[in-house]
């Protein structure tokens, strides 16, 4: 894969401003109504389509209302509501174990800080960021999913393919007040235009800025 230079700071800011204007309503796609539902949805969503997860959680949330409900459940009871989710068994096991910990340590409430969230089974930094932003209105960082990773590499916002390293680059580039929103703006662009494996550069608002200028990447 050929090398592409990073955008300079001015063009990076311009690119992000254009994306924010292009996707003013960008937000989390997973359905949830409270922190527990957000956590369950985000665990199921790893390497699975958000739309598929939403179909599953529509049923799951009817039957499980509290952390105690999940903590006391047997995997097959939850799995019967899960269809089309990769590694469903492992994810359901993580949900049950996470809820057992939440019951034991946090009185049934999902913790609202990064340190405690990443200690829960099935929750890494990206997932913790997503929970904090959407369920608590707290932006400690920027969640880097596959769309954010792909677009940021193509656009020259970061040369670090590792999500945690890319997140640090984006945090330096983006004003903290926008940390909670920018990932969704980039994600929506990745879904709509800057797709894998071939981006639709002819309809991209960043066509004259992007250093890749239409060169496809498998990232």
Q: Does the structure show a pLDDT above 90 at 211? A: no
HSE at residue 102, side-chain half, CA atoms within 13 A, is 27
Residue 217 pLDDT level (bands cut at 50, 70, 90): very low
pLDDT digits (tens, 9 = 90+) for 71-83: 999 999 999 999 9
Measured between alpha carbons, how far is 101 from 99 in angstroms, rounded to an integer? Answer: 5
C-beta pairs of 10-13 under 8 Å, 24+ apart in sequence:
11/209, 12/155, 12/156, 12/157, 12/173, 13/173
Does residue 219 have a pLDDT over 50?
no
Q: Which residue has the tokens 């937000």?
A: 27
Contacts of 125 (CB under 8 A, 6+ apart): 114, 118, 141, 163, 164, 167
Which distant-in-sequence residues (6+ apart) come within 8 Å of 131 by Cβ?
35, 38, 39, 42, 110, 117, 123
pLDDT digits (tens, 9 = 90+) for 35-91: 999 999 999 999 999 999 999 999 999 999 999 999 999 999 999 999 999 999 999
Please report the pLDDT score of residue 150 as a whole number: 95
Q: Return the pLDDT at 9.
A: 86
Token pair recorded at residue 44: 């199921």
Q: What domains appear along the chain, each with residue ranges and CATH number?
A: 9-27+142-203 (1.10.1670.10), 35-136 (1.10.340.30)
């Amino acid at each position: 894969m050929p090398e592409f230079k990073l955008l300079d700071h001015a063009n990076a800011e311009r690119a992000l401003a254009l994306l924010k204007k292009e996707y003013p309503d960008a937000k989390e796609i997973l359905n949830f109504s409270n922190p527990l539902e957000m956590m369950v949805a985000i665990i199921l969503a790893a390497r699975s389509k958000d739309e598929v997860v939403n179909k599953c959680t529509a049923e799951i949330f009817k039957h499980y209302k509290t952390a105690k409900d999940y903590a006391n459940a047997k995997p097959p009871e939850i799995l019967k509501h899960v269809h089309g989710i990769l590694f469903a068994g492992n994810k359901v096991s993580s949900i049950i174990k996470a809820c057992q910990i939440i019951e034991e340590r946090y009185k049934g409430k999902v913790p609202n800080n990064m340190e405690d969230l990443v200690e829960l089974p099935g929750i890494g930094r990206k997932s913790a960021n997503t929970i904090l932003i959407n369920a608590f209105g707290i932006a400690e960082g920027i969640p880097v999913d596959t769309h954010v990773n792909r677009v940021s590499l193509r656009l020259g916002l970061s040369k670090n393919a590792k999500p945690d390293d890319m997140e640090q680059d984006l945090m330096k580039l983006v004003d903290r007040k926008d940390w909670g929103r920018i990932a969704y703006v980039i994600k929506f662009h990745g879904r709509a235009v800057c797709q894998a494996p071939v981006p639709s550069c002819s309809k991209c608002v960043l066509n004259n800025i992007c250093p890749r200028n239409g060169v496809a990447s498998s990232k």
